[in-house]
Amino acid sequence: MMKPVYISAATALSPQNSFDVDTLLPDVISSDNGKLFVKDTDYSKFINPVAIRRMSRMLKIGISTGMKAVQVSGVEKLDGIITGTGRGSMRDMELFLGDMIRLKEEALNPTYFIQSTYNSVNGWLAMQTKCTGYNQTYVHRGHSLEMSVLDAKMLLHDATEPQTYLVGCLDEMTDDYFIVKNKIGYWKKELPNSLQVLQHSNTQGSIGGEGAAFFTITNTSANSICSIEQLKMLQQPTAASVQASIDNILAAHGMKLKDIDVVLCGMSGDARFQSLYTPILESTTAHTTVAAFKHLCGEYDTSTGFAMWLATKLFQEQSTPEVLIQKKGINPAINNILIVNHYTLNSASLMLMKKTISE
């Protein structure tokens, strides 16, 4: 088994107030149109003013989230930058493809093309942080962030010196994307308020979302918030394979389910995937709090990033906001969190995180 790695800083730009505030979910933002968009911030604080004018919203979101994570961590030199995105910069891609059709493939603007590539956020982050080290972008749909974390874990496992990687994810939703995915049943036909979506888990579809989350991940526990003990990815997950994976992870760490203080579940209100979480809701004892998060960020490829960010905040604040709770547990402290998430029936992931105990 690989050694744990440690998160020393976590930032997220999400549909909630997650970026410019120190407290966790000071207010809750909801939507009635089936879409949860990122709450914008002042991007000019993090991006060169000459460069910012050419950037799409997604680039600004990704770069600002990554730069803030670096600032918060206080790290002076990154050893690498690893990012996951399921879809990249959708808006720039749509503009570029739209121009190709409209202008019959002539006189196309270069900017949309350059900035719509999946790795443009990584490139900008490398330039802004002057990081000439490892630079990788994973585009693996629902496992994009998980692959990035796994890559960082492997690199840090092999490292003999203290190292820090900036690891993150980003995905954006556009109106066109919403329309296309609606045709194949991604979203609910009758749209509830986003905060009510989990109460509609007897019907197909969820609500759309987007967001970015970045973490500085190191191989030293000093000044860290928590560790990532284990990460497991599942293809074509079933309730049985999710349950078996939970059992294996707990056994590998000498833990029982009651030792998990919070299970952060990626249930999305979609009847097709609810069964993945039924065993968790049924098997957890009175000790464990079962919490959900997709009614706050919506469904998107890299929503695990929002869950990881939430986990770091739960460790720091040592309490779970009521808006997250599906089943309240009695464990008094939050020292162990298990994230269980899915993206469509193709992919699911589980991540065991532990609060760093100060020495």
Partner 1 sequence: MEDLKLTLKQQIIESLNLQGMTPADIDDNAPLFGDGLGLDSIDSLELMVLLERNYGIKIEDAREGRKVLESVASMAAYIEQNRKI
Which of 8, 64 has the CB closer to partner 1? 64
Phi, psi of 148 (to 5 degrees): -65, -45
Minimum CB–partner distance for residue 189 and partner 1 (Å)? 38
State the Cα–Cα distance between residues 46 and 57, nearest whole angstrom.
Answer: 13
Minimum CB–partner distance for residue 211 and partner 1 (Å)? 24
Which of 2, 51 has the CB closer to partner 1? 51
Which of 124, 186 has the CB closer to partner 1? 124
3-state DSSP assignment of residue 107:
coil
Q: Extract the runs of DSSP E, i.e. beta strands, from 276-335.
A: 289-292, 325-327
* Cα 220-224-230 angle, rounded to 5 deg: 70
Cα dihedral: 206, 212, 218, 220 (round 10): -70
Minimum CB–partner distance for residue 116 and partner 1 (Å)? 14
215, 165 contact by CB (below 8 A): no
218, 156 contact by CB (below 8 A): yes
Minimum CB–partner distance for residue 60 and partner 1 (Å)? 12
Burial of 50 (0-12, 13-18, 19+ CB in 10 A): exposed
151, 166 contact by CB (below 8 A): no
Cross-sheet strand order for the sheet of 211-218: 134-138, 80-84, 164-171, 211-218, 5-13, 226-235, 347-355, 336-343, 262-265, 289-292, 325-327
Minimum CB–partner distance for residue 321 and partner 1 (Å)? 37
Minimum CB–partner distance for residue 59 and partner 1 (Å)? 13
Which of 113, 178 has the CB closer to partner 1? 113
Which of 56, 206 has the CB closer to partner 1? 56
User: With left for phi above 0 and alpha for psi between -120 and 50, is residue 88 left, alpha or beta?
Assistant: left
End-to-end CA distance of the chain: 24
3-state DSSP assignment of residue 67:
helix
Which of 50, 357 has the CB closer to partner 1? 50
Minimum CB–partner distance for residue 94 and partner 1 (Å)? 17
Which of 27, 106 has the CB closer to partner 1? 106
Minimum CB–partner distance for residue 176 and partner 1 (Å)? 21
Minimum CB–partner distance for residue 58 and partner 1 (Å)? 15
Which of 17, 119 has the CB closer to partner 1? 119
Tokens representing residue 353 in the block: 């995180």
Which of 3, 54 has the CB closer to partner 1? 54
* Cα 29-196-259 angle, rounded to 5 deg: 90
Strand partners, 218: 6, 164
Binding site for partner 1 (CB under 8 A): 50, 53-54, 103, 106-111, 114
